């Protein structure tokens, strides 16, 4: 957890600093907004900024946005000035903390920023084996590719790999390759020198240098332009980067983890992703199953989110009723863990009884969870699952006999057509039908006027 404190506040921030450091935070001080920005540009990143409300909070928030530093800001003040607090919130601060600081309040703010949304919660056997593999390879220096559908928890697993690695005490830096415009991503990753392009008014350290000694997560790497992929490949191979406008290479010491919700082998075939880069990144592949294939995790995560949002909203922690659990089991969750989290948050707010009931498990429009519009693929998957359930606990011979009889019903008893559909010879079909007749089953008759074999 990296905390930057901006301002003086009559020495009260010294107390806040000591509290934060006791809670495990690495603290950096800056006397002004300008100095804080210089610190960030120099690669000394922050997970949270606490700023004196007497400074220009709006200037800080706008400067962070203009230079693409995605850091939450908390305003602090020693005076009981309600207007200053309201103005700070309106300017973009996430919270206002009165000083002298309350140790528990400081701890709560740090915990909310640092860990709450990053818990790795699982129970399903498929995730147990995956997390075991992730833990096993964490100690290595190998690059890791984490794949899976959107919202299934790829970044959470990446943080787990980092936390179990020898780099755990060094920075974990995440870059969303899909969220940054193509013409800015190179500068974001590799940094730039002053005057390298219009608007480059000062040197900016990129994420590769900021993450040096730690882990760099390249989220949704499949969205990266193929031309920039060549520079990334060199950085991975040579462990040096070139700042935009720079005159000499800069060595870096990082471990790279990449994620994608696409089939990168298919992207290679289409020419949108470099094959050599895929080989370099995909030393170890961790494929996260979608939530619909992890039924035990649905219940485990639901209980986790129910507690989380009850506490966040000042409500009592309530268990999920048996009916609510059954309703959740019906959900397909195309948005995976992210969708489940929103569903449970909504349920916590809608519930009124001692338990979270099935009536609170709803889509955003208020409809029951399983009643929303479904695309063709979803309907086909549900139909296939329904058919598969019909096979459970039955012998192969019974399933085969019913399939033959159903096919004969479809062909109105025509043996030749049925054999063609089933992919067997007419002799094999006749032998099967004779066997079923000997066993006492009612064999569908052939069409009228056609002799039975």
Q: Which pLDDT tens digit goes with each residue over 230-242? A: 999 999 999 999 9
Residue 334 is given by DSSP the state T
Is the pLDDT at 77 greater than 70, yes or no? yes
pLDDT at 252 over 90: yes
What's the pLDDT tens digit per position in 192-230? 888 888 777 788 889 999 998 999 999 999 999 999 999
111 — pLDDT class (breaks 50, 70, 90): low
- Residues counted in the chain: 453
Element (H, E) at 256: strand 255-260
DSSP-derived secondary structure for 366-416: SSBGGGS---HHHHHHHHHHHHHHHHTT--HHHHHHHHHHHHHHHTTT-HH
Cα distances (angstroms) measured from residue 117 to each of 106, 175, 261, 337, 384:
18, 17, 20, 12, 35
Rounded Cα distance between 47 and 58, Å, is 18
What CATH number was assigned to the domain covering residues 292-371?
1.10.8.60
Element (H, E) at 431: helix 426-438
CATH number of 394-453: 1.10.10.60
Say yes or no to pLDDT of 115 above 80.
no
- 88 close to 54: Cβ distance less than 8 angstroms: no
Mean pLDDT over 148-153 rounds to 93
Beta-strand ranges (E) seen in 1-107 are 2-6, 26-30, 48-52, 73-77, 95-98
CB 257 within 8 A of CB 217: yes
- Residue 88 banded pLDDT, cuts 50, 70, 90: confident
Q: What does the pLDDT read at residue 282?
A: 94
Region 57-64: mean pLDDT is: 90
Query: Which pLDDT score, from 0 to 100, does residue 116 have?
Result: 46
Alpha carbon distance 278, 118 (integer Å): 27
* Pairing state between β 250-251 and 240-241: antiparallel
Cα Rg of the chain (Å, integer) = 30
Q: Residue 217's pLDDT is what?
A: 96
Residue 27, SS3? strand
Domain boundaries, the chain: 2-117, 127-287, 292-371, 394-453
Sequence-ordered list of residues with C-beta below 8 angstroms from that of 357, at least 6 positions apart, any chain:
321, 323, 324, 351
**Packing angle of the helix pair 336-350, 295-312 (nearest 10 deg):** 50
Least confident of 16-20, 127-131, 254-258, 326-330: 16-20
Rounded to 5, what percent of the chain is helix, strand, coil?
A: 50, 15, 35
CB 264 within 8 A of CB 223: no
Measured between alpha carbons, how far apart are the two ends of the chain, in Å?
79
- Percent of the chain whose predicted confidence (pLDDT) is above 70: 87
Q: Residue 377: pLDDT above 60?
A: no
Helical axes 415-422 vs 426-438, angle rounded to 10°: 110
**Quick check: 386 pLDDT over 70?**
no
State yes or no: pLDDT of 318 exceeds 70: yes
Query: For residue 11, is pLDDT > 50?
Result: yes
Band (113; pLDDT cuts 50, 70, 90): low
Lowest mean pLDDT among 84-88, 257-261, 266-270: 84-88
Read off the pLDDT band of 376 (50, 70, 90): very low
From residue 324, how far is each of 253, 293, 303, 331, 358 by CA, in Å? Answer: 49, 19, 11, 11, 4
Q: Residue-wise over 88-119: b if at least 16 C-beta within 10 A, else e?
A: beebbbbbbbbbebeeeebbebbebbbeeeee
Which of the two residues, 392 and 125, has the higher pLDDT score? 125
Is residue 286's pLDDT more than 90?
yes
- Out of 2.70.180.20, 3.40.50.300, 3.30.365.10, 3.40.50.2000, the CATH code matching 127-287 is 3.40.50.300
> Is it the case that residue 294 has pLDDT exceeding 60?
yes
Whether the domain at 292-371 and the domain at 394-453 fall into the same CATH topology: no
Q: Fold for domain 2-117? A: Rossmann fold (3.40.50)
How far apart, in whole angstroms, are the C-alpha atoms of residue 38 and residue 28? 12
* pTM, two decimal places: 0.67
The helix/strand count (H/E) of the chain reads as 19, 12
Question: Are the CB atoms for 71 and 48 separated by under 8 Å?
Answer: yes
Element (H, E) at 255: strand 255-260
pLDDT of 271 reads 93
Q: What is the mean pLDDT of the chain?
A: 85
pLDDT band at 117 (very low <50, low <70, confident <90, very high): very low
Residue 3: HSE in the Cβ half-sphere, 13 Å Cα cutoff: 27
Q: Give the lowest-confidence range in 11-20, 208-217, 305-314.
A: 11-20
Q: How would you write 112-166 as a 3-class SS string?
A: HHHCHHHCCCCCCHHHHHHHHHHHHHHCCCCCEEEECCCCCCHHHHHHHHHHCCC
């Amino acid at each position: 957890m990296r905390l930057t404190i901006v301002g003086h506040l009559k020495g009260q921030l010294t107390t806040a600093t000591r509290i934060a450091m006791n809670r495990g935070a690495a603290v950096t001080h800056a006397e002004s907004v300008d100095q804080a920005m210089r610190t960030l540009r120099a690669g000394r990143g922050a997970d949270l900024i606490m700023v004196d409300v007497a400074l220009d909070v709006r200037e800080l928030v706008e400067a962070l946005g203009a230079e693409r530093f995605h850091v939450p800001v908390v305003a602090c003040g020693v005076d009981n000035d309600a207007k200053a607090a309201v103005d700070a919130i309106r300017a973009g601060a996430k919270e206002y903390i009165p000083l002298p600081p309350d140790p528990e309040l400081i701890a709560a703010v740090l915990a909310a920023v640092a860990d709450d949304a990053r818990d790795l919660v699982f129970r399903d056997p498929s995730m147990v084996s995956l997390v075991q593999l992730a833990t096993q390879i964490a100690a290595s220096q190998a690059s890791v590719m984490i794949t899976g559908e959107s919202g299934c928890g790829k970044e959470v697993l990446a943080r787990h790999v980092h936390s179990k690695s020898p780099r755990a005490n060094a920075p974990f830096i995440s870059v969303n390759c899909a969220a940054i415009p193509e013409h800015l991503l190179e500068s974001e990753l590799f940094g730039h020198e002053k005057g390298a392009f219009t608007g480059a008014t000062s040197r900016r350290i990129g994420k590769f240098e900021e993450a040096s000694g730690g882990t760099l997560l390249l989220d949704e790497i499949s969205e990266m332009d193929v031309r920039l992929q060549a520079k990334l490949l060199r950085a991975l191979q040579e462990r040096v980067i070139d700042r935009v406008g720079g005159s000499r290479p800069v060595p870096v010491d990082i471990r790279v983890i990449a994620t994608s919700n696409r089939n990168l082998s298919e992207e290679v075939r289409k020419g949108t992703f470099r094959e050599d880069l895929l080989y370099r990144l995909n030393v170890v592949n961790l494929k996260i199953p979608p939530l619909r294939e992890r039924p035990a995790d649905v219940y485990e995560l639901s209980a986790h989110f129910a507690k989380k949002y009850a506490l966040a909203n000042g409500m009592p922690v309530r268990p999920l009723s048996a009916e609510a659990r059954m309703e959740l089991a019906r959900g397909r969750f195309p948005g995976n863990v992210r969708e489940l989290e929103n569903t449970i948050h909504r349920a916590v707010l809608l519930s009124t009884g001692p338990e979270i009931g099935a009536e609170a498990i709803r889509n955003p429009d208020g409809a029951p969870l399983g009643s929303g519009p479904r695309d063709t693929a979803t309907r086909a998957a549900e139909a296939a699952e329904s058919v598969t359930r019909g096979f459970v606990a039955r012998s192969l011979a019974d399933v085969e006999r019913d399939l033959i009889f159903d096919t004969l019903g479809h062909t109105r008893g025509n043996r030749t057509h049925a054999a063609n559909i089933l992919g067997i010879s007419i002799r094999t079909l006749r032998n099967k039908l004779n066997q079923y007749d000997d066993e006492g089953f009612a064999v569908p008759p052939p069409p009228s006027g056609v002799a039975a074999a």
